[in-house]
Structure 1
Amino acid sequence: MKELFQVLGEFLQSKRIKAGLSQGDVATKLGYSSPQFISNFERGLCAPPLNKLKLLVQLYDLNGEEVMKLMLKEHEKHLRKSLNLKAKKK
């Protein structure tokens, strides 16, 4: 499952850095007591819960459509690989 969330994690990390925030800053704003949660998201160990993802979109001033498309694309790739389906033609 890690690879499924890795692209999202790298995306979120780049946006956090661009926003000039530390993992600790973000953790505090999301109500976490430790930046470890943010580190886990960014390393692709897990995806943020949807309520926290919504806050990240707002905090980093992201386009929600862009985030949704990124996640859907990665989920589709993961499902196709898991189900031995061919990649969708463009």
Structure 2
Amino acid sequence: MENKNALKQHFGKLGEYLKDRRESQNLTQIDVARACQCKSQFVSNWERGKCSPPWDILKKLMKLYDIPERQLFNFLMKEYEKLIISNLGIRGKR
């Protein structure tokens, strides 16, 4: 159960990030769904941390939201590191 909660939290952080980027571009979930050729419910699910967008959609979002590759990479690595630390029960940095 712990792993499931950690993964859900990981998706939640990505969802918050994507929602912030969408709003900074003054786009609605419907706008994003049209641009990504998916349903707005799918966009809502990412933003609420229910799931993560597939890689091909994530690439489209990077262009749509004007997210530099390195910025998204750093964000994902930071969040993934937290997920690993949480799942392995690592305390503190060495």
TM-score, normalised to structure 2, is 0.87
Q: Which runs of 4+ in 1 moved over 2 A?
A: 86-89
Higher helix share: 2
Q: Percent identity?
A: 39
Instruction: Supply the distance in 1 between the matched residues of 2:92 and 2:36 (Cα, whole angstroms).
Output: 36
Q: Does 1:80 pair with 2:91?
A: no
Equivalent in the alignment of 2:65: 60
Instruction: Supply the distance in 2 between the matched residues of 1:46 and 1:82 (Cα, whole angstroms).
Output: 18
SS in 2 for 1:61: coil
Equivalent in the alignment of 2:13: 7
Instruction: Supply the distance in 1 between the matched residues of 2:56 and 2:80 (Cα, whole angstroms).
Output: 19
Instruction: Supply the distance in 1 between the matched residues of 2:14 and 2:42 (Cα, whole angstroms).
Output: 14
Equivalent in the alignment of 1:46: 51
CA RMSD of aligned residues (A): 1.1
Instruction: Supply the distance in 2 between the matched residues of 1:62 and 1:27 (Cα, whole angstroms).
Output: 17
How many residue pairs align between the two structures?
88
What residue ranges of structure 1 are gaps of 5+ in the alignment? none
Q: Does 1:30 pair with 2:43?
A: no
Q: CA deviation at 1:12?
A: 0.7
